[in-house]
Amino acid sequence: MYPNDFYYSKDHEWLKVDGESATVGITDFAQKQLGDVVYVELPQPGVQLEVHQSFGVIESVKAVSDIYSPISGEVVETNEELNDSPELVNEDPHDKGWIVRIKVKNETELENLMSASEYEKYLEGLED
Amino acid sequence: MKRTRLYSAHKTAGAKFVEFFGWEMPIEYTGILHEHMAVREKAGLFDVSHMGEIIISGNQALDFIQYLTPNDAARLDANKAQYSALITPQGTFVDDLLVYYLDEDTYLLVVNAANTDKDFQWILSHEQGFDVEVQNKSEYYTQMALQGPEAYKILKPLTQIDLEKMSSFAVERGSIEGVEAFVSRTGYTGEDGFEIYTLAPNPEKVWDAILEEGKAYGLQPIGLGARDTLRLEARLMLYGNDIDEHTTVLEAGMRWLVKFKKGDFLGREALLKQKEEGVRRKIVGFELVEKGIARPHYPVYIDDEKVSEVRSGSFSPFFQKSIGLTYLPVEHTEIGTEFSIDIRGKRTKARVVPTPFYKREENQ
């Protein structure tokens, strides 16, 4: 379910390092919690993010949720496809439903994130 | 938290639950968008047993209801239900409700779950001088709503009741799958459909039979999430959002609900005065012109002046855009008028549009 080469945050974002940048999205758990996603407010490329900074908003029919950056760095690209097809976040949260690419500023920040098995354990804890 | 008699049926069906004014209710089963469109195109079954049921009986039951509500309850009979309201002396809403004539000198008020206790106390506080008995029977009733273009075809084989002769707001008594019930051709979705009331201890039998019969028609169980988006598209009021103790019946655009000629009733004087002087603000439907979703309580601006807040506001699954209701000064209520809504600090353009947003094609 949760890819082994991803990092995960407690806010239920995933992050995949790809050379100098990292792709960020929300996890399958998060999209299930939200329900049908109908709108994603994306940041402008060039925006500088701090760890845990809110950089966008995901709206389902019922709820509005902030999206937080798991690392610091500059937004280099956003998933423009979400403008027309926000449902990709539900249908394919770990791939086509990606949200932004961030240029990694400080690799040591990755150490604060969870591995797939740690994240799965974290989710089990939430269900108790 | 309170649960309805159908709780385990929802659990089995995989419902996601939410707390709704002390009730543990299904918010969705398969997803709000899917459920919403199932009701628009096929049919949906709702458990609305959280609604309150208050019975008023006695020699002066009709007089008392006439005093409490602005609509004319004298027009009711055993085969007709009526939309009405409890209103304050100021002409504002204590609640909106349905009135049913159950038996001679016996009426049933179906009220919002969130207001059941408040309404009950309100009614008791005005009881003096009327020869009536008021009872809160909410915990005994199970209420289901079967809604959508296929509703009629699904219910027909399950009951002897002659559904075909039932026009809008008609009421009939009988049984469904052998369970005693009464049925009205009413609903909260903008579609054709029925609301089913039963005091039977085994309402699950009715729920299951309808779901089974509906399979061939694409019937789905529907949660409170889609119930809200469906009723908003049909511009049906939600108490607490669109109407409350600070909004009058006339401001809410419900002049038709007030029968001034029927005699005295609570709020009559205030509403008559407001009718003569004209309202200063009025409820309007809007859609966002720019991207985003307007949600309840977002500030509403005309030019640079904050004039109001969004009351109901949601993404519309049918129209695939942001729609809502708000109150605007009457001089700004014309169709096409533009104004703005503050969405997370950004002024977003909106436009007054005709309502209901959604109107089903007749003769379905």
B344 interface with A at CB cutoff 8 Å: yes
The verdict on a CB contact (< 8 Å) between B28 and A35 is: yes
What domains can be seen in chain B, in order of their start residue?
7-46+141-233 (3.30.1360.120), 52-136 (3.30.70.1400), 280-364 (2.40.30.110)
Helix axes B224-233, B32-41, angle to 10 degrees: 50
Where are chain A's structural domains?
7-127
For the segment B247-279, what is each residue's pLDDT rounded down to a tens digit?
999 999 999 999 999 999 999 999 999 999 999
ipTM: 0.88
Q: Output the pLDDT for position A128.
A: 58
For the segment B57-104, what is each residue's pLDDT rounded down to a tens digit?
999 999 999 999 999 999 999 899 999 999 999 999 999 999 999 999
| Nearest residue in chain A measured CA to CA from B230 | A61
Question: pLDDT band for position B231 (50/70/90)?
Answer: very high
Q: Output the pLDDT for position B364.
A: 46
Distance from CA of B87 to the nearest CA of A (A): 30
- The CATH T-level fold of domain A7-127 is OB fold (Dihydrolipoamide Acetyltransferase, E2P) (2.40.50)
Of A33, A57, A58, A62, which to mutate for an interface test with B (greatest number of B Cβ within 10 Å)?
Answer: A62
Determine the 3-state secondary structure of B308 from DSSP: strand
The verdict on a CB contact (< 8 Å) between B293 and A38 is: yes
Q: Output the pLDDT for position A126.
A: 86
B106's tokens = 């016996």
Q: Output the pLDDT for position A100.
A: 97
If you average pLDDT over every residue of chain B, what do you get?
97
Amino acid at A121: K
Share of chain A residues as helix, strand and coil, in percent rounded to the nearest 5: 25, 35, 40
Task: Indicate the helix (H) or strand (E) that contains B315.
Answer: strand B305-316
Determine the 3-state secondary structure of B139 from DSSP: helix
The verdict on a CB contact (< 8 Å) between A62 and B32 is: yes
- Let me know: does B166 contact B177? Beta carbons within 8 Å: no
The verdict on a CB contact (< 8 Å) between B315 and A61 is: yes
The verdict on a CB contact (< 8 Å) between B31 and A35 is: yes
